Amino acid sequence: MSIQGVCPVLSVPFHKNGEVDYASFESLTQWIISLGTKSVLFFGVASENIKLSDDERYELLERLLRTRAGSGLQVIASVADHSADLAVRRAKDYESMGADYINILPPTFFNPTPAQINHHISSILVSVKLPVIVQHLPQGGGVNDVGDLVTLSEKFDNLKMVKCEANPPADSIKRVHQLSNNRVETLIGWGGIHWANGAAAGAKGIQPGCSLTDLYLWAEQSLLEKNLPEFEQRLGKFLPVISEWINTIEELVAAEKFVLAQRGIIESDYCRAPTVVLTEKMKAQAFSLIELAQSTSSVGTK
């Protein structure tokens, strides 16, 4: 197995009363599958993971795994607990439930030391047999040197990928490949706004939000055809807006929900507080991207 191409981070829909809308979540999953998407990341920042209870997380993952049955969709389940003990327990649970990959968001609270972060990641790696992806998110704290992650991969052969979210990520992508002799593969996070440079540096794929997955797949077609001018032209039609939205994470989350609701994929664009109110400019941008997605749908993305 390998994670390649467009791997969206699933949103979590809520009813207007703040309760999880499980029916809309299943509809979202079905829509993602219908596009021909090969993999998804769940419980990312765009999933409002920090605003979910444990019961909700387990119920959502169970529904995701049940809904994807028979589709070939690979599910990456993210473990973001600050405590290594809790993270190990969750990783084992997700493995037993049927996830295909474990994603580790290293701890950042109160600036843990490199030794503490390595202990956290190592504890999870030794506890599961699944392939593991580790996020390198220096702007969020935690691991600052991708070299530390490559060193861990020499001891734990299930550390298969690093999600490079430095801004920009090209240097860290190249460093992972060089230090590991291409043994460890890389993905691009942070909305995929550096996709062109990241792909040129050797990244296998991207993990953006999910509301415009069809646009990302549309752009990917040109990349797969090695038509780089067309690839960059297609990216230029929507990534500048994503770059604006991602300047504030809560704005990105709210914008993703707004797009999904306006497209009729989920029922409500409700976000759990703390959240933001979208500006009229952002709403206009969202409608423009929805129109672009509709206009490119005839191209086909499967």
Q: Domain 5-212: give its CATH code.
A: 3.20.20.70
pLDDT of res. 23: 98
Arithmetic mean of pLDDT, 122-137: 97
Instruction: Give residue-wise pLDDT tens across range 82-119.
Output: 999 999 999 999 999 999 999 999 998 888 998 999 99
pLDDT of 302 over the 60 cut: no
pLDDT of res. 137: 85
pLDDT of res. 300: 45
Instruction: Give residue-wise pLDDT tens across range 136-184.
Output: 988 776 676 899 999 999 999 999 999 999 889 999 999 999 999 999 9
Q: Nearest CA to 249 among 48, 19, 100, 1?
A: 48
Arithmetic mean of pLDDT, 203-210: 97
pLDDT of res. 138: 82
Higher pLDDT, 232 or 137: 232
- Residues recorded for the chain: 302
User: Exposed, middle or buried, 103 (CB in 10 Å: 0-12/13-18/19+)?
Assistant: buried
Q: Nearest CA to 62 among 84, 101, 93, 31?
A: 93
Say how far apart CA 155 and CA 141 lie, in whole Å: 24
- Looking at the chain, the whole-number percentage of residues with pLDDT higher than 70 is 97
Say how far apart CA 284 and CA 241 lie, in whole Å: 11
Instruction: Give residue-wise pLDDT tens across range 256-282.
Output: 999 999 999 999 999 999 999 999 999
Instruction: Give residue-wise pLDDT tens across range 5-35.
Output: 999 999 999 999 999 999 999 999 999 999 9
pLDDT of res. 298: 53
pLDDT of res. 296: 93
Say how far apart CA 195 and CA 271 lie, in whole Å: 27
- For residue 301, name the pLDDT band (cuts at 50, 70, 90): very low
How wide is the angle at C-alpha 110 spanned by C-alphas 106 and 111, nearest 5°? Answer: 55
Mean predicted lDDT score pLDDT of the chain: 95
Question: What is the DSSP track for the chain?
Answer: ----EE-PBPP--B-TTS-B-HHHHHHHHHHHHHTT--EEEESSGGGTGGG--HHHHHHHHHHHHHHTTTS--EEEEEE--SSHHHHHHHHHHHHHHT-SEEEE----TT---HHHHHHHHHHHHHH--S-EEEEE-GGGSS---HHHHHHHHHH-TTEEEEEE-SSS-HHHHHHHHHHHTT-SEEEE-GGGTTHHHHHHHT--EE--BSTTHHHHHHHHHHHHTT-HHHHHHHHTTTHHHHHHHTTSHHHHHHHHHHHHHHTTSSS----PSS--PPPHHHHHHHHHHHHHHHHHGGG---
Q: Nearest CA to 87 among 78, 96, 76?
A: 78
Say how far apart CA 82 and CA 243 lie, in whole Å: 28
Please tell me the pTM assigned to this model.
0.96
- Token pair, residue 7, equals 């791997």
